[in-house]
Structure 1
Amino acid sequence: MGFLTSNIGLILFVVLAVVIVLWAISTYNQLISAREFVRNSMGQIAAQIESRWDALQNMIEGTKQYAEYEAKTLESITEQRTSLGQTAAVAEVAKDDELFNQAMGRLLAIAESYPDLKASSVYQETLKNVDRYEQQVRQSRMIFNDTVTKYNRVIQSVPSNIIASLFNFTTEAYFENTATKTDMPSWS
């Protein structure tokens, strides 16, 4: 018993150190997991946006037979965009949205000038696909914002904020409503 009583302080120190190390590892893993959920959510948005652009590109191809010059203008807009991935920033997605809305607005204006284009079944079906992808992008953004909320809470909560700051975890930005996103778009 003499050894135990004389080294009780050391034993308590070792036990406390082990508990702190285990807590730090657990918290770090929780932060990594939360960050990966954020990245996965952004990846979902990027996939939906890519599909939306593919549908728009299909509409541009259909427009070529009616208005070659306008189709080239639309293609130049699509060439300005950069591919988004799971590490894309909210600002990059917003810029992509601007380009998409610019191209879509132009395409709708062209369709107004060419009634045969507007009436074609391919145009109508593609318009439905663009709308469907737009709705999926909106849904993916809501999921992203929920995921970011959970991630940001972990980073800012005591005591996990200590580990977050030690390993340079930073808060993520949210998607916010803009003037163009307050109402559901109407493509027809």
Structure 2
Amino acid sequence: MICLDSLLSGIGSMIRMVIFIAVIVAGFGIYSYNKLQRFGQGVKSANATVLTVIQKRADLVNKLMDIAREYGNHEKLVHITLSNNLVDTFKEASAAMANLNAMAATYPELKANGAYQQLMNQINAVETELQHKREQYNHVAQTYNSERLQIPTVLFSGVLGFNEAPYFDFDNLQEIKEFKTDDGQLLKEMLATASSRAMDVTQKGLDKVQTKLQKKTENDINDCENEIK
């Protein structure tokens, strides 16, 4: 009986320990998830602002080309297509600006055009804004990347779908645009897995208790039969 009590006590302690560990892991997982989600949303908000400024720049360059067409060199003044590939959009706008600057040097009357000057001032302001937004984005991305590498967050960041945020570079605009974080599905799967494992361990413990009880009962019956004989 003492052995059985010890067994039951040991299995009970093991089950409590498993449940305790599962609760701790789930708690850290939820804490890390909420923190990373908050910083991840900051990254997505910052990159959305950067991408909006890039598209605004392309729109202004298109308007500038409409004015420049009145002065010649039409074959080089092709409207920028605002495609999903922002790298192409940015490069096309930069190439168009180079052509426009060359035209302005060739046609002084274009450079003196009031509408042209106004648009150029707006483009210069947008480019300054773009540089500012770029610095803001990189700061937010650095904060997020630093947070995801801290303990205990680093133990969960990859599992929960929080990958490293790309830093701003005009050659990786597409990566910045496509950056995303988990929508909650991976967290649900992690919690479901932890719960399932805890249940498995508990069930195995109960099965051991049942086996021991059954064996003890059989032994008791055999002892009784032997005494009767």
TM-score range, shorter chain: 0.7 to 0.9
Find the counterpart in structure 1 of residue 136 from structure 2. Answer: 143
Matched, 1:117 2:148: no
Find the counterpart in structure 2 of residue 23 from structure 1. Answer: 28
Alignment coverage as a number of residue pairs: 163
Question: Which SS does the other structure have where 1:82 is aligned?
Answer: coil
Matched, 1:41 2:46: yes
Q: TM-score, normalised by structure 2?
A: 0.63
Larger Rg over CA atoms: 2
Q: In 2, are the aligned partners of 1:34 and 1:151 still within 8 Å (CA)?
A: yes
Q: Deviations over 1:40-94 (max 9, x none)?
A: 1111011111111111111111111111xx3442225x13x5246xxxxxxx54x
Matched, 1:82 2:83: yes
Q: Can you give the 5+ residue segments of structure 2 that lack an aligned partner in the other structure? A: 1-8, 172-229
Per-residue deviation at 1:12? 4.5
Find the counterpart in structure 1 of residue 201 from structure 2. Answer: none
1:57 counterpart letter in structure 2: N
Distance 2:107 2:145 in 1: 49
Find the counterpart in structure 2 of residue 100 from structure 1. Answer: 93
Distance 1:19 1:63 in 2: 66
Q: Can you give the 5+ residue segments of structure 1 that lack an aligned partner in the other structure? A: 1-5, 85-91, 179-188
User: What is the percentage of aligned positions where both structures have the same residue?
Assistant: 22
- RMSD value, Cα: 2.6
Q: TM-score, normalised by structure 1?
A: 0.75
Distance 2:44 2:38 in 1: 10
Instruction: Say which of 47, 62, 83 aligns to 1:57.
Output: 62
Per-residue deviation at 1:119? 0.2
Q: Deviations over 1:112-141 (max 9, x none)?
A: 111111101101110000001001111111
